[in-house]
Amino acid sequence: MNKRSFLKSLGLGLASVPFVGTSEAMHMAATVKPLLKGKVLKPGDTVGIITPASALGDEDAITLTKEVLTYFGLNVKEGKYIRERYGNLAGTDAQRLEDLHAMFADKEVHGVLCIRGGSGASRLLSKIDYKLIANNPKPLLGYSDITALIMAFQAKIGLVTFHGPVGTSNWSNFVAKTFTDQFMDNKLVTFANPDKKGDNIVQYKDRISTINPGIAEGKLLGGNLTLISGLCGSPYLPDFKDSILFLEEINESPEKVDRMFCQLMNAGILAQIKGFVFGKCTGCSPSAGYGSLNLDQILRDYIKPLNIPSYSGAVIGHIDDQFLLPVGVKARIDANKGTIEILEKALI
C-alpha cells in the first residue's frame, strides 16, 4: 500500500468511528503505522548470511547454507564475523551487531538468512539501529533464538519478518516449496500439516489436536516460547491485541513450559489474542510417573479457558518439515482443520 492509499484508507476508517473525538482521531492517525515489507527475491539477487546468536560448530554450516541459497538461484554474501567465537556466541555483541547492520545497509543485499539460532540474539536488541533497519526493509528469515529479532523488528518498526528454517536446517522439498512460494512467488499460502499416511489407513505423525473449535483472524505473531516469555516487560514485544499467536519450544521440561505459559498469562498476553496455534515441543516429554504435567494438560489449563479458536500439533519448530510463516501480516486460522491461511502479501 502506498502512502496516498494508506492515508485514504485511514481517513475512511476513522470516519466510520462516530464516537471518536477530534483529538482522539488525531492521536490514532499519529500512532497507526503501515507495515514495513521487503521486496520479493528473484534469481540473481544476493542474500546475506549472518550468525546473530550462537557460534557455528564447523565450516560445513556455512557451506551447506550457501548450497541451499544457490539451489534457488541466489547469490550469497557472508557476514564479516560469521566464523568468530566469543564463548558460546558467534563473536562479541559488537561483531554480531556489525554484521546485522551491514547486511541491512548494503544496497546489493536483498534478504538476510540467519545460519543458526542458539542463544544471544536478545543481547543485541538495545543496541540495534532500528532507524537503519526501517530505512532498508528486507526479509529476515530464522527461528528459535532469532525470535528475539523477529519480535523486536515488529515491535519497534513494524517490519514483516519470517519464522522458518535457518541455514543449517534440513531443507526438505516441503521446506523448499514454502521458501519459493513465500520469497520468490509471494503467494498467499495456506499452511497445513503434510499428509504422511504412507501405507497406513490413518495418519499417525504430525496430527493436529483442536483445543477450541472455530475460525479466527488477526495479525500473525509468534515464535519460540522461551524467547517471547523472556521479553515480557521489555519494549521488544509487539502489541498482541487481536492477534493470532503461534508458539514452539525445544528441550524444556513441562515444569518450565508451564512457568512460561504462566508468564504469558500474568503479562496479559493470552487475554488479548483472538486465536492460538501451538507447534512442536521437541524433547519436552515429562519424566516417568506423575512427576509433572504433560503438554496437553498445560494447554488445557491456559488455552482452553480462553474460548478462542486454537489447536496444537502444527509443524512449527525444531523439526525437518516446518512452516515458513510471515510475522506481522493478517492471517486466518481454522482450528477444526488445523490450517493457517495468510491473507496479506508479506513482500512487495
DSSP 35: P
Torsion on CA atoms 84, 87, 93, 99, rounded to nearest 10: 20
Task: Please pick, among 229, 310, 312, 318, the residue that the annotation labels catalytic.
Answer: 318
Task: Please pick, among 144, 229, 243, 310, the residue that the annotation labels catalytic.
Answer: 144
76 phi, psi to nearest 5 deg: -125, 135
Cβ neighbours of residue 289 closer than 8 Å, sequence gap 6 or more: none
Which strands make up the sheet holding 325-327, listed edge to edge?
A: 75-78, 46-50, 109-114, 140-142, 161-163, 325-327
- Taking the CA atoms of 54, 60, 63 and 66 in sequence, report the sign of the dihedral they define: negative
* Beta-bridge mates of residue 275: 244
Backbone φ/ψ region at 15: left (φ over 0), alpha (ψ -120 to 50), beta: alpha
Whether the CB-CB separation of 121 and 145 falls below 8 Å is answered with: yes
Active site residue 144: yes
Report which secondary-structure segment, H or E, holds 219: strand 215-224
Active site residue 318: yes
Dist. CA 245–CA 27, nearest whole Å: 27
| Residue found under cell 509487539 | 238
Dist. CA 140–CA 160, nearest whole Å: 8
CA distances to 138, 152, 243, 267 from 239, rounded to whole Å, are: 22, 11, 8, 12
Render the burial of 223-255: b for 16+ CB within 10 Å, e for the rest.
bbbbbbbbbeeeebbbebeebbbbbbbbebbbe
Task: Please pick, among 248, 249, 310, 312, the residue that the annotation labels catalytic.
Answer: 248
Question: Any idea which residues carry the catalytic annotation?
Answer: 144, 248, 318
